[in-house]
Amino acid sequence: MATTQESPDPPAQTSQTQSPPSDLMERVLVFAPTGRDGPLVTESLSRAGFVAFLCRSIEHFCEELGRGAGAAFVAEEALVGDGVSCVIDVLRKQPAWSDVPVILMTSGGKTTQYSERIVRSLESVSNLTLLERPLRILTLISAIHAALRARRRQYEVRSLLQEKEDAVRHRDQFLAMLGHELRNPLAAIRTAVEVVAECDKTDREMLTQHTQIIRRQSSNLSRLVDDLLDVARATAGKIVLNRQFVDLRDVAQRALDDVKLAVGTQRHEIIINTAAQAAFVFGDPVRLEQIVANLLTNAIKYTPPGGTIRIEVSGDDDHAYIRVADTGEGIPPQMLPRIFEPFVQVEQNLDRSRGGLGLGLPLVNLLVQMHGGVVQALSEGTGRGSQFLVRLPVSRPRGSTSRPAPDTRQAAAVSRRVLIVEDSADARAAMRSLVRMWGHEVVVAEDGPSGVERAREFRPEVALLDIGLPGLDGYQVAKMVRESLGPDVCLIALTGYGQAEDRERARLAGFDRHLVKPVEPSKLRLILADPSICKEDEAAAG
């Protein structure tokens, strides 16, 4: 190799085998095993103000390339044998934002078949620049400047990606905490409603009326929180479907019953038409019911009193269909392409009498896609109603593959010993009253240590444990109670934390079930009547 100036011997190798961590992003790796090429290039780059790092062997070069570099200079003859494979393997393991510039010094004159193979191999995995011998220092310096300039742009992209990831993580953390903080008061409200509903009062008609109002509004608030969190989870791919064979006719009827309870439909005529033949799909019954319920809620919201809403379930050889049509306000043509975007709503008056955050339809779209289907919005324009058509792939079970869902309206009249550990005084008192009304013997505790003590004294058959307890958290309480009472006690996590990782952590702590607040009272009543349900999986038990 020829240079434009004489170069003294490079510093001792020991001074060049280590680079401070702060220099990793800017350093230039050098490996040229023939003669004095490597030391001369290293010293020339150092004099030009670069952080040059001389490697001892191809293995050392690959190791340092994996640690990080701004650019890499390597001679063609260094890539003999397994050398080129070593370099390619390291480059392929780079993160998506990274493309380390590689400057390859080739032999001058006629290109050999060997050098062509090296170039083709490196071009497929790297940002490659070729410099031929004899090499001029000014050319090398110019190439290194260009390589580092491109590398700095990559670091800028990395920083932007990191900021975006941090923002998404902070958003998800905020949403999780929002759900937790909202679910706690919801749990107390919903449980207190059940207590009031079973009380004997003089003015039973007024009591019933106001109980229904509270129940309806708490259900609406709970649905809003669930939609808000589910949109974030679905977008991040964190929703896991518990699939089984489901008849969409049953899904539609359950969704209608739930919506009637939550929203109230006395001002609308709702007609449901289902095919005589079953419309089976392989999906998550809870999420499928959520799809239909959100479409019904949307139809009720945008249909004036006295309007008609139709639900139709049908199918053919390949697909099952759910159609929800209304005689309401319709969808303006300019809104149809955007109707499934988050936070997008048809224009409302300042009073926002229809409510909502524009999350119901985006969630429908995401859940339908997760089931391998499509949803379509149709409308002839403002004032001419709208309809939503969900198309899902048919999947017919071979024989009987699923059992009937448990009847949560009926529960055996059996008395259990139940421990409730909850730090919220209101939630604790309401839950104690409700469980006692169901005929069970109840003991309560307000924190983790007292919960463990009560469990050892009372020896409950079922323990309802909050997670965010003072003293000892619910996971610690569960482990200690399980160690003391063994496998016979049914441990139920009753918590505002509902992420998949929260359920897994509860399982590892020894919980049999993980119920997210506000829990459906009828489901809890069924579990308390038959604690063996605790041993069944979440999907089967509801």
* 44 CB-contact burial (10 Å; exposed 0-12 / middle 13-18 / buried 19+): buried
Judge whether 211 lies within some domain.
Answer: no
- Tens of pLDDT along 366-405? 999 999 999 999 999 888 999 999 999 998 776 544 444 4
Distance between terminal CA atoms of the chain?
75
In degrees and rounded to multiples of 5, residue 89 shows phi and psi of -60, -40
Q: Are 344 and 484 contained in the same domain? A: no
Judge whether 278 lies within some domain.
Answer: yes
Q: Are 387 and 507 contained in the same domain? A: no
Residue holding tokens 């020896």? 459
Judge whether 340 lies within some domain.
Answer: yes
Q: Are 515 and 425 contained in the same domain? A: yes
Q: Give the long-range contacts of residues 234-238, CB within 8 A, separation 24 or more.
A: 234/363, 234/366, 234/367, 234/370, 235/366, 236/168, 236/172, 238/499, 238/500
Q: Are 359 and 429 contained in the same domain? A: no
Q: Are 366 and 474 contained in the same domain? A: no
Query: Does residue 511 surpass a pLDDT of 70?
Result: yes
Give how many domains the chain has, as a whole number: 3
Q: Are 276 and 381 contained in the same domain? A: yes
Q: 499 or 504: which carries more pLDDT confidence? A: 504
Q: Are 537 and 423 contained in the same domain? A: yes
Q: Are 443 and 386 contained in the same domain? A: no
Question: How much is the pLDDT for 148?
Answer: 93
Judge whether 174 lies within some domain.
Answer: no
Which two tokens mark 525? 């009543």
Q: Residue 49 maps to which CATH number?
A: 3.40.50.2300
Range of 71-80, 113-122, 447-456 with top mean pLDDT: 447-456
Give, as one character, the DSSP assignment of residue 528: H
Judge whether 95 lies within some domain.
Answer: yes
Judge whether 160 lies within some domain.
Answer: no
- Tens of pLDDT along 205-241? 767 766 776 776 677 677 767 777 777 777 777 777 8
Q: Are 453 and 342 contained in the same domain? A: no
Q: Where are the beta strands (DSSP E) in 23-90?
A: 28-31, 52-54, 71-75
Q: 536 or 445: which carries more pLDDT confidence? A: 445
**Cα distance between residue 91 and residue 37, in whole Å:** 24
Judge whether 183 lies within some domain.
Answer: no
pTM score above 0.75: no
Assign 406 a pLDDT band (cuts: 50, 70, 90): very low
Mean pLDDT on 77-81: 84
Mean pLDDT on 246-254: 92
Q: 381 near 344, Cβ under 8 Å?
A: no
% of the chain residues with pLDDT over 70:
80
Question: How much is the pLDDT for 322?
Answer: 95
Q: Are 436 and 512 contained in the same domain? A: yes
Mean pLDDT on 287-314: 91
Which domain range does residue 112 map to?
13-135
Query: Does residue 354 surpass a pLDDT of 70?
Result: no
**Cα distance between residue 542 and residue 529, in whole Å:** 15
Q: Are 484 and 446 contained in the same domain? A: yes
Of 109, 135, 161, the one marking the end of a domain is: 135
Query: Does residue 538 surpass a pLDDT of 80?
Result: no
Judge whether 231 lies within some domain.
Answer: no
- Cα 452 to the chain's mean position, in Å? 33
